[in-house]
Amino acid sequence: MSLTGKVALVTGSTSGIGLGIARALASEGADIMLNGFGDADQIKQIQAELAEEYSVRVHFNGADLSHPEQVVDAVVATQRELGGLDILVNNAGIQFVAPVEEFPNEKWEGILSLNLSATFYAMKAAIPMMKSKHWGRIINIASAHGLVASPNKIAYVAAKHGVVGATKVAALELANEGVTVNALCPGWVLTPLVAQQLRDRAAESGSDLETEEVKLLAEKQPMHSFTSPESIGAMVVFLCSDAAQTITGAPLSIDGGWVAQ
């Protein structure tokens, strides 16, 4: 197990992509700090399952990362409870869809706070410890929407482009500190975040979810398949490996060809 002895904070890891990443890191021996919202019993069950299956320590921190001070608390709690922070995965994110002129201000502020600012505050809090150990991995979950746009997603697209930019800046500053910083840019992954968009589309068009799934994929991706959270987890594990030690500042697509067009 390549990550035994490392500690990872994965934000937004109570469901979807974050949970896939937490599981992949745990399967390589990393101790995990989970974060996110959800039913307390279900979260306890996830903790127990991962800890038992992979013989690692799995803690949970329920910080609401749209508040800067809670982002710092989550980083500090990881260091205090698990003895360090070697791998930071900034994954928590939300979506809201509306044309610019109808986009609610509070949705703009909320998406920017969580999808962009939390990444900044978490990196800021985590970097000193990584520098002192001369080893660290920061993986920011951006999106194909960090590289190209779609209509009706002004806040999400702006935030994800911001994440790609912030990733590059941190990578340059840390280039000779043993710390790499990269952004993953997934295409469609079938998680609760996308399931909500499918339900909205089906309600609007009067069709069923299966039809909307096929249409959603075909609109953007040459490859008509969803990426799985497991594949994204595997990519994160690779970025934590020695083989990836010179990959830094890169927006890495895992998107069925979305941005190749």
Q: Point out which span in 13-21, 79-87, 122-130, 244-252 binds ligand NAD (CB under 6 A).
A: 13-21
Kindly report the CA angle at 122 between 103 and 110, in degrees rounded to 5? Answer: 15
Q: What angle separates helix 16-27 from helix 229-239, to the nearest 10 degrees? A: 50
188-205 per-residue burial string, b: 16 or more CB within 10 A, e: under 16: bbbbeebeeebeebbeee
Q: Point out which span in 62-70, 77-85, 126-134, 206-214 binds ligand NAD (CB under 6 A).
A: 62-70
Query: Can you name the residues that pair with 140 across neighbouring β-strands?
Result: 90, 183
Q: How far is the CB of 161 from ligand NAD (least distance, A)?
A: 12
| Residues whose CB falls within 8 Å of the CB of residue 250, separated by 6 or more in sequence, listed in order | 171, 182, 183
If phi over 0 gives left and psi between -120 and 50 gives alpha, with beta otherwise, what is residue 256?
left
136 interacts with ligand NAD by CB under 6 A: no
66 interacts with ligand NAD by CB under 6 A: yes
14 interacts with ligand NAD by CB under 6 A: yes
93 interacts with ligand NAD by CB under 6 A: yes
Q: Point out which span in 41-49, 169-177, 185-193, 244-252 binds ligand NAD (CB under 6 A).
A: 185-193
Q: Point out which span in 131-139, 171-179, 189-197, 217-225 binds ligand NAD (CB under 6 A).
A: 189-197
| Residues whose CB falls within 8 Å of the CB of residue 116, separated by 6 or more in sequence, listed in order | 158, 159, 160, 162, 163, 166
Total chain residues near ligand NAD (CB under 6 A): 29
* 87 three-state secondary structure: strand
Interface residue with ligand NAD among 6, 10, 12, 136 (CB under 6 A) is: 12
**Complete DSSP assignment for 107-152:** HHHHHIIIIIIHHHHHHHHHHHHHHHHT-EEEEEE--GGGTS--TT
18 interacts with ligand NAD by CB under 6 A: yes
Question: Residue 94 in contact with residue 86, Cβ under 8 Å?
Answer: no
Interface residue with ligand NAD among 111, 114, 158, 179 (CB under 6 A) is: 114
9 interacts with ligand NAD by CB under 6 A: no
Q: How far apart are CA 3 and CA 126, in angstroms?
A: 18
Residue 73 or 173 with smaller CB distance to ligand NAD: 73
Interface residue with ligand NAD among 7, 8, 10, 16 (CB under 6 A) is: 16
- Write the single-letter amino acid at 243: A
Contact track, ligand NAD, 200-239, x by CB under 6 A: ----------------------------------------
Residue 70 or 135 with smaller CB distance to ligand NAD: 70
Query: What is the set of active-site residues?
Result: 156
Residue 113 or 248 with smaller CB distance to ligand NAD: 113
Binding site residues, ligand NAD, CB under 6 A: 12-18, 35-38, 64-66, 91-94, 114-115, 141, 143, 186, 188-189, 191-194
